[in-house]
Structure 1
Amino acid sequence: MAERGTSPSRPPGTPPARGDDGIRPLTKAVSVFVLPFLTAAVLLLYFFPGDTEQLFAWTIQPPLTAMVLASAYAGGIWFFVQVLRQDRWHRVRHGFPGALLFATLLAVATVLHWDRFHFGHISFITWATLYLVTPILLLAVLIVNWRADRGRPDAIDTTIPWPARILLALFGVAALVTGLVLFIVPTVAVGSWAWDVTPLTARVIGTVLTLPGTVHLWLLLDSRWSAFRWVFQAQLVSLIFLNLALILCREQLLWENLVTLPVVATLVLAPVAYVLLYVYCERRARRNRDAGAL
């Protein structure tokens, strides 16, 4: 299902031409492939975070970390559902590099901490298979869609103001750098993070942080609201799940650590900033539509 106000769709059965902004069939197929796994992971990690020793591929402690990972997966569900709904590559393209980095880092973390996993458990077999295959599939998606987007806006669109783009890009750099530091040197977070972490869970948290970091960097190159609208929706979903997790697991927060207040404040304020920008850009896009109809 395409959004209103877009350019006419191709006739059914017609393959997308290079540069027509169409989403290649492989993209939809990969979305269909990953959605059941993401859904199962959210159900297990968000609703049963204290039972990962029995239910999941590896034991995650404290439960807050399990819910953080589930929150990232919840945003992924929203994103890949939008990929299935849309017919324009530029609307979803900026979410795929982050998803590729996310899947690749989790695959590396799995190898580095192989001894922590529950060998033979169906969840481990699923996890290992998923992170062996998914990075390859996501890379293939980026390759087949590489020249699909010519930089054209939607029929109903606007530009994101440059101050917002710069601020979000700076936030993205901070998130990406923090995430990579946690992944490369996870021991720096042990005993100093906002809640208890191990080297493996520090790497997982770092991997989650690379998602918004990677997305926001594209704001330096692309000002089209339609290129970020659906990705920002996915990030909002993740942040809603994250904030609820903070409330439910508030006793697990280590307020004596210096990073706790900044981390919590960022997670609380981020959805407010996203909503304000979202509403502003939606109103501008509607005004552009109304002005064009006169």
Structure 2
Amino acid sequence: MNGSDRILPYTRWVGAIIIPFLVAAFIILYLFPTHTDALFAWTINPPITAMFLASAYAGGIWFFVQVVRPNRWHAVRYGFPAVFVFATLLAISTFLHWEKFHFGHISFIVWVTLYIATPFLVFAAMIANAPADPRAPDDRDARIPWPVRILLALVGLCALATGIFLFVVPQVAIDVWAWQLTPLTARVCGAILTLPGLVNVWMLGDARWSAFRQIFQAQLASLVFIGGALAIRSGDLDWSRPSTPMFVCGIVASFVVYAALYLWGEASMRRSAPVVRAAPQD
């Protein structure tokens, strides 16, 4: 491992600060999605939307654990732009729909504080740590084939475009989405969909499996919980809309593709020859 490829203490502290809030939000939204009127920053209906947001938080928990533990910067760096955009969009959504929130509730105070501070904290970590990536592979690594990178980048661009559509024109999205939305929840769902989009596009410029494997672990965690939400709250889905089977099939297909890539990457990494690095010269 290259000695310069390290996560700065500040960046670890940012991760350590964020994780407890993600855990608390996940527990409330995934385990008690029908009680957001009493437990969360705003009332979320139908419950599948709460579980969809919780699924993003599940991936976020896994991601920031990788940031906090002993690790390399290049293994997590491509998650930071996605988190920055996600948090920024949620901050904007909060102020655009201020009247929908439970003023004075502890969860509202935490929500507002978190989404005002997080974009700045994450952006600062991203900029401060960026020079640490030596652009070198791990001692054992695999190179993602160019066709696979193009395919996943296209998948990411589709997710990103859908997320932008939901965020920018929520009133239009409400009429076509797979379940009932409000302008606020449409924008929240749009912010969630930007996460995989902004990760995958980086593959066009970086073929190192080690730069994506831990972020893909987080994405797989999110997909598992989204699948659970679709099964548990299937009654919230509007099957009269074409977007519903498209969304469900897209989640299943994404899980299959991501899992296959992950298994391939891990097997290729184990088969790769260790990189022999030259000793530093005096």
TM range (shorter): over 0.9
**Counterparts of 1:135 and 1:84, CA distance in 2:** 18
2:280 corresponds in structure 1 to none
User: Using a 3 Å threshold, how does the CA distance of structure 1 residues 138 and 258 change in structure 2: closer, same or farther?
Assistant: same
**Counterparts of 1:244 and 1:268, CA distance in 2:** 11
In 1, are the aligned partners of 2:42 and 2:101 still within 8 Å (CA)? yes
Matched, 1:281 2:265: yes
**Counterparts of 1:243 and 1:269, CA distance in 2:** 11
**Counterparts of 2:150 and 2:10, CA distance in 1:** 33
Residue 131 of structure 2, aligned match among 113, 125, 147: 147
In 1, are the aligned partners of 2:6 and 2:71 still within 8 Å (CA)? yes
TM-score normalised by L of structure 1: 0.92
2:279 corresponds in structure 1 to none
Q: Quote how far apart the aligned CAs of 1:163 are.
A: 1.2
Residue 23 of structure 1, aligned match among 7, 10, 28: 7
Deviation string 1:132-178 (CA, Å, 9 cap, x unpaired) is 10000001001111211121000010111111100000011111111
In 1, are the aligned partners of 2:139 and 2:275 still within 8 Å (CA)? no
Q: Quote how far apart the aligned CAs of 1:79 are.
A: 0.3
2:169 corresponds in structure 1 to 185
1:109 corresponds in structure 2 to 93
**Structure 1 residue runs of 4 or more that deviate by more than 4 Å after TM superposition:** none
**Counterparts of 2:130 and 2:274, CA distance in 1:** 33
Unpaired stretches in structure 2, ≥5 consecutive residues: 277-282
Residue 228 of structure 1, aligned match among 212, 233, 241: 212
**Counterparts of 2:272 and 2:252, CA distance in 1:** 32
Residue 178 of structure 2, aligned match among 194, 211, 233: 194
Residue 97 of structure 1, aligned match among 81, 85, 91: 81
Matched, 1:204 2:188: yes
Give me the identity figure in percent.
Answer: 55
Deviation string 1:81-131 (CA, Å, 9 cap, x unpaired) is 011124311000000000000000000000000000000000000000000
User: Using a 3 Å threshold, how does the CA distance of structure 1 residues 290 and 148 change in structure 2: closer, same or farther?
Assistant: closer
- Superposition RMSD in Å: 1.2
Count of residues paired in the alignment: 276
188-197 or 241-250, larger mean C-alpha shift: 188-197
Deviation string 1:165-202 (CA, Å, 9 cap, x unpaired) is 00000011111111011101111111321000010000
In 1, are the aligned partners of 2:67 and 2:76 still within 8 Å (CA)? yes
Unpaired stretches in structure 1, ≥5 consecutive residues: 1-5, 10-19
Residue 56 of structure 2, aligned match among 47, 72, 76: 72
107-116 or 252-261, larger mean C-alpha shift: 252-261
Deviation string 1:2-56 (CA, Å, 9 cap, x unpaired) is xxxx35x6xxxxxxxxxx1111111100000000000000000000000000000
In 1, are the aligned partners of 2:140 and 2:274 still within 8 Å (CA)? no
**Counterparts of 2:93 and 2:10, CA distance in 1:** 27
